[in-house]
Amino acid sequence: AQTVTQSQPEMSVQEAETVTLSCTYDTSESDYYLFWYKQPPSRQMILVIRQEAYKQQNATENRFSVNFQKAAKSFSLKISDSQLGDAAMYFCAYTNDYKLSFGAGTTVTVRA
């Protein structure tokens, strides 16, 4: 299985501010997909954003954007204008076939 590393167990952000979550991965493949998933206390896994490795343009979904650095094997998630509803565990995930490899997760708390 591929290795996905999230080095930040916890992050805290003030409401309306920006927070960036880091993720690195290890692969020898050139074609693969990267994802960020959100898991609130309800435990539902929600797909936040996806990035295809062959696309140089960074993916964006509303207030969520990524900084994909293929050479560095880095895939960070930026949450802009943080809202109370963004509080959750965030998982970075990798696949080059159909199996997902997940990082350990980062817990994001949002301060009102």
Partner 1 sequence: SAVISQKPSRDICQRGTSLTIQCQVDSQVTMMFWYRQQPGQSLTLIATANQGSEATYESGFVIDKFPISRPNLTFSTLTVSNMSPEDSSIYLCSVTGGSNEQFFGPGTRLTVL
Binding residues vs partner 1 (CB under 8 A): 33, 35, 42-45, 47, 50, 52, 91, 95, 97-100, 102-105
Choose between 28 and 112: whose C-beta lies nearer to partner 1: 28
Please, what is the minimum distance in Å from the beta carbon of residue 97 to partner 1?
8
Structure tokens given for 42: 């309800």
Q: What is the dihedral of CA 92, 52, 60, 93, to 10 degrees?
A: -10
What minimum distance in Å lies between the beta carbon of 101 and partner 1? Answer: 8
- Distance of alpha carbon 39 from alpha carbon 57, whole angstroms: 26
- At closest approach, how far in Å is the CB of 91 from partner 1? 6
Q: Which is nearer to partner 1, 29 or 81 (CB)?
A: 29
- Sign for the CA dihedral angle at 46, 19, 8, 101 comes to positive
